[in-house]
Amino acid sequence: MPVFLSTRDADFEAQFTALLGAKREDSPDVDHIVAEIIADIRARGDEALLEYTQRFDRLELTADTLAFSEAEIDALIAEVPAEEREALELAAARIRAYHERQIPEDQRWTDESGAELGWRWTPVSAAGLYVPGGLASYPSSVLMNAIPAKVAGVQRLAITVPTPDGVANPLVLLAARLSGVDEVYRVGGAQAVAALAYGTDTIKPVDKITGPGNAFVAAAKRRVFGKVGIDMIAGPSEILVIADKDNNADWIALDLMSQAEHDESAQSILITDSEDFAREVCAAVDRQLETLERRAIAGASWRDFGAVIVVDDLDQAAQLSDRIAPEHLELCVADPDGLSDKITHAGAIFLGAWTPEAIGDYVGGPNHVLPTARSARFSSGLSVMDFVKRTTLAKMTPAALRAIGPAAEVLAKSESLQSHGLSVTARLQSLND
Catalytic residue annotation: 327-328
Name which of 183 and 330 has its Cβ closer to its own copies.
330
Give the residue numbers of the binding site for Zn(2+).
259, 262, 361, 420
Phi first, then psi: what are they for 166, rounded to 5°? 85, 5
Query: If you count them, how many residues does the chain have?
Result: 433
In angstroms, the Cα distances linking 195 to 204, 215, 262, 308 are 8, 17, 29, 45
Please tell me the distance from the alpha carbon of residue 68 to that of residue 203, in angstroms, as a whole number.
12
Minimum distance from residue 282 beta carbon to its own copies (Å)? 16
Among left, alpha and beta (phi > 0; psi -120 to 50; other), residue 199 is left
Give the residue numbers of the binding site for NAD(+).
130, 191, 214
Minimum distance from residue 179 beta carbon to its own copies (Å)? 14
Name which of 180 and 352 has its Cβ closer to its own copies.
352
In angstroms, the Cα distances linking 199 to 124, 227, 344 are 16, 12, 41
Give the residue numbers of the binding site.
130, 191, 214, 237, 259, 262, 328, 361, 415, 420
Minimum distance from residue 47 beta carbon to its own copies (Å)? 21
**How buried is residue 55: exposed, middle or buried, by Cβ count under 10 Å (0-12/13-18/19+)?**
exposed
Q: How far out from the chain centre does Cα 297 lie?
A: 23
Name which of 50 and 255 has its Cβ closer to its own copies.
255
Name which of 52 and 198 has its Cβ closer to its own copies.
198
Q: How far out from the chain centre does Cα 69 lie?
A: 28
Which among 125, 132, 115, 4 is positioned nearest to 57, based on CA atoms? 132
Minimum distance from residue 378 beta carbon to its own copies (Å)? 3
Please tell me the distance from the alpha carbon of residue 122 to that of residue 120, in angstroms, as a whole number.
7
**How buried is residue 86: exposed, middle or buried, by Cβ count under 10 Å (0-12/13-18/19+)?**
exposed
Minimum distance from residue 358 beta carbon to its own copies (Å)? 4
Minimum distance from residue 276 beta carbon to its own copies (Å)? 20
Please tell me the distance from the alpha carbon of residue 138 to that of residue 169, in angstroms, as a whole number.
9
